[in-house]
Amino acid sequence: MNILLLGSGGREHALAWKLAQSRICDKLYAAPGNPGIAEEAELASLDVTDHGAVTVFCEERRIGLVVIGPEAPLVDGLADTLRGAGFSVFGPSRAAAQLEGSKGFTKDLCERAGIPTGAYERVTSEAEAMAALGRFGAPVVIKADGLAAGKGVTVAMTVEEAEGAVRDIFGGKFGEAGAEAVIEEFLEGEEASFFALTDGSTIVPFGTAQDHKRVGEGDTGPNTGGMGAYSPAPVLTSLLRGEVIEKIIAPTVQTLAREGMPYSGVLYAGLMLTREGPKLIEYNCRFGDPECQVLMMRLESDLGEFLLACAENRLSTLQPPHFSHDTALTVVMAAQGYPGTPKKGGHIGGIAEAEAEGAKVFHAGTAVDASGGLAANGGRVLNVTARGGSVTDAQAKAYEAVDRVVFPEGFCRRDIGWREVEREAGSQSAKT
Ligand code: AMP
Ligand code: GLY
């Protein structure tokens, strides 16, 4: 069948790479795509906010499956429009995508379903927020309710910082996304991500990962969309994974179905592994970026079959997916200035050399420049991804590949995977 993939980042390049290998895929289209995705798919210039134009494209190209990569079109209800027109879609409805589109929606759902998460209050004005801060004290977490491109969350160590965050939100810094906010208990522990496919009834675990959100080495500096990730996350032991499914994922899927907004697509749970067990920090209604890149690097099953079965409500008919036991690790190469204003146009070379030893370089923010060469065109530019028998090994291979990439106006963290590398060194020395 023909498949249409929507999106243009490193996540979508990884999805395109696997979909192009799928037995069910005759022709892959992608919109708007990027130069890396163009190696796997025919690019179309579609505006995803124009639901009518996307529908016409699907009719004309006889699309059998639409895969929606990013959250914005899902929260905007594109999956509903396309399903209404008779197409199979991978991705949740507008109602179910509120799991990512509204922090308050998710917190209320957790309360109704008894899902472990931090204590919280929803507030709709600065005065209400300040009163709530008085009850929580510091440290405390302040979140703009809506989509804020990962920038709407402040983990405040002092009350002054928390008050500043509240003023930012209700002063309009996040526009509509900040008409409402959540004040939340600060959770302590290690963070990890859990992925599951669901068609609203069947739940298929689809890998674990850990990412590095801060721009600087040692997890310092401002937050970003993610500077690197690895999969699997060994901290999520099989015991903990069982607990996450039972106490967090299953009640979410069941409650949404019961309340008339069944979730179909990938559920990405951001977890805090606290002393009392795993607690939900947040849900995303799409694959993580760059977590998707490491999941796809390990996936040995046919991605297209899984996404189609999910879209057609028949996940229960598939065997569980196979993921390599190897670790995959990805290093994000970003343009100078990121996560502020990234410098555009920096020349990129050496990708073939980086891939010569088996690494895969996914394009995130790249463009073809006037001379036909490759140039930076975004904050996160490349995701240099490698596999190895351990995190230490995958890390070494990823950085070998990074060192072959020529991108003088870019930078990357040199310590992706450091927690696990330290733990592996510890267990190594414990053995000897
Ligand atoms: P979110 O967008 O909700 O994932 O928040 C972004 C980041 O803020 C998370 O990855 C955590 O590092 C941090 N964070 C969010 N909520 C909490 C919380 N309740 N306690 C501690 N850290 C949090
Ligand atoms: N890497 C974090 C995210 O995709 O939300």
Mean pLDDT calculated for residue range 338-367 = 96
Distance (Å, rounded) from C-alpha 427 to C-alpha 432? Answer: 9
* Residue 364 pLDDT level (bands cut at 50, 70, 90): very high
Q: What pLDDT digit, counting tens, does each position of 160-190 carry?
A: 999 999 999 888 887 777 779 999 999 999 9
Distance 153 CA to ligand 1 centre (A): 7
CA angle (220 as vertex; 215, 223 as ends), nearest 5: 45
Q: Contact, 215 vs 221, CB < 8 A?
A: yes
Q: Are 16 and 31 in contact (CB under 8 A)?
A: no
The predicted-structure confidence for 198-223, as pLDDT tens digits, reads as follows 999 999 999 999 999 999 999 999 88
* pLDDT value of position 188: 96
What's residue 431's pLDDT?
53
- Whole-number pLDDT of residue 31: 98
Taking each helix axis as running N to C, give the angle between helix 418-431 and helix 391-402, from 0 to 180 degrees, rounded to the nearest 10.
130
Q: Are 320 and 340 in contact (CB under 8 A)?
A: no
Ligand 1 in reach of 291 Cβ (< 6 A): no
What is the model's pLDDT at position 430? 62
DSSP for residue 320 = P
290 CA from centroid of ligand 2 (Å)? 7
Pair of tokens at residue 11: 């996540």
What's residue 171's pLDDT? 87
Q: Whose CA is nearest to atom 3 of ligand 1?
A: 282
Q: Which of 17-31, 163-177, 242-256 has the lowest mean pLDDT?
A: 163-177
142, 227, 281, best to mutate for ligand 1 pocket (most atoms within 8 Å of CB)? 281
What CA–CA distance (Å, rounded) separates 288 from 354?
24
140-152 confidence digits (pLDDT tens):
999 999 888 767 8
Q: pLDDT at residue 195 above 60?
A: yes
Please check whether residue 232 is in contact with residue 294, taking contact to mean a CB–CB distance below 8 angstroms: no
Going by CA atoms, what residue is nearest to atom 3 of ligand 2? Answer: 288
Omega of the bond leading into 32 within 30 degrees of 0 (cis): yes
Q: pTM to 2 decimals?
A: 0.96
